[in-house]
Amino acid sequence: MVTDMFPVKFVVSILLASVMAVGQEPVPQERKDANPSPAPAAPEAPRSEFLQARKLVQQGKYDEAIAELQQLSAAQPGLKGVAHELGTAYYAKGDYQQAIVTLKKALDENRDDHESTQLLGLSSYLAGRPSEAIPYLEKVQSWFPRANVDAAYILGICYIQTKDYPKARTAFARMFDVPADSAASYLFTARMLLRQEFDPVAEEYALKATTLDPKLPGAHLMLGELYLYKSRIPEAIEQFQKELSLNPANASAYYKLADAYSRIQKFDDAERLLQRSLWLDATSTGPYILMGKVLEKKGEFELAVRALRHAAVMDPNNPMTHHLLGQTYRDMGRQEEAASELKIAEELRIKQDSHP
């Protein structure tokens, strides 16, 4: 997706940060299913042999933790639980291929090791093998803290990537505690499909949501965003207007509608709508940036600078803000300030490109 659709391109990311405190038992995340499955048993507290390795993983010293565990394995062949700890360490390190190999050994040792089952599913997904991840994630859909991610969400993404959309809808419905055939479940799935860039199916599901419930908040907004991304401006405007008829206090809908009008050079309409968006929510930078762009197009340079400067204070690392400031200063004949802002914009862009 592009920045017109979302403030930042959405890519499913897994933050492998801290590991749970050594010795703390993970608690499965509570769900509210009508017929909940029995919660998987929490793994036993780590044996004393593994405490040092877990401490090293906590500190981000993954290679040292792995070396510690490998030494234990060599010194005590057949030591129960070492494959589990090694697999967890490899997962935390981000070495998913090795995590898969080791976690499979852990499951050979203990088929009831639910944490290893979940981490094996997550590792398979992160290694680009969603079809292999599904059977493991289906077995354990509760969240263990050392995974640092909700496996139910990743299971839904795996279904999308393998094009099993009905099962994806069921997974997301379960996550949000709504019926699988409800308008809300279609809308939630449409959002996830859009983030995965399955645009045609996302449109189909969003339209289904509006058919099931024409007054469902958010459905017309999502369709409008999709049409805006596809440059289908008249359709986008229609959807944003429908959203505002349902929720006239939706700041995001005013902002997106203003964006649509700005693209067909209806700058006065765009400015009016942006002002409404800012009255409702002054905490987002997007409307300020678009306001600066619209005012620059109208030749109201001082006001444009004021809006863009405000956006730069809110988020100094947004290259678009500095680029627009540079353009506006150039239009005003303030060449030195224009060059400075354009230089900042380029430096920020290069920095962002080097850290995708």
Give the CATH number of the domain where residue 132 resides: 1.25.40.10
User: Is 218 within 8 Å of 188 (Cβ atoms)?
Assistant: no
CA 112 to chain centre: 31
In a domain, 231, yes or no: no
Residue 153 lies in a domain: no
Counted domains in the chain:
2
Spatial distance between the Cα atoms of 329 and 301, rounded to a whole number of angstroms = 8
Residue whose C-alpha is closest to residue 204's, from 178, 223, 225:
223
The closest of 129, 125, 81 to 103, measured between CA atoms, is 81
Q: Is residue 94 part of a domain?
A: yes
Specify if 151 maps to a domain.
Answer: no
Q: Which domain holds residue 334?
A: 284-356
Q: Is the pTM of this model over 0.85?
A: no
Q: Would residue 326 count as lying in a domain?
A: yes
Going residue by residue through the chain, which has 356 residues, state the pLDDT in tens, using 9 for 90 and above. Answer: 433 333 323 333 333 333 333 333 333 333 333 333 333 444 454 567 889 999 999 999 999 999 999 999 998 888 899 999 999 999 999 999 999 999 999 999 999 999 999 999 999 999 999 999 999 999 886 666 555 567 788 999 999 999 999 999 999 998 899 999 999 999 999 999 999 999 999 999 999 999 999 999 999 999 999 999 999 999 999 999 999 999 999 999 999 999 999 999 999 999 999 999 999 999 999 999 999 999 999 999 999 999 999 999 999 999 999 999 999 999 999 999 999 999 999 999 999 988 75
Q: Evaluate whether 259 touches 290 at the Cβ level (below 8 Å).
A: yes
Q: Domain boundary at 93, 115, 140, which?
A: 140
In a domain, 355, yes or no: yes
Determine the Cα–Cα distance for residues 150 and 331; give it in Å rounded to an integer: 49
Domain assignment of residue 223, yes or no: no
Q: With respect to residue 324, please indicate whether it lies within any of the assigned structural domains.
A: yes
Which among 86, 108, 140 is the end of a domain? 140
Among 83, 108, 140, residue at a domain's last position: 140
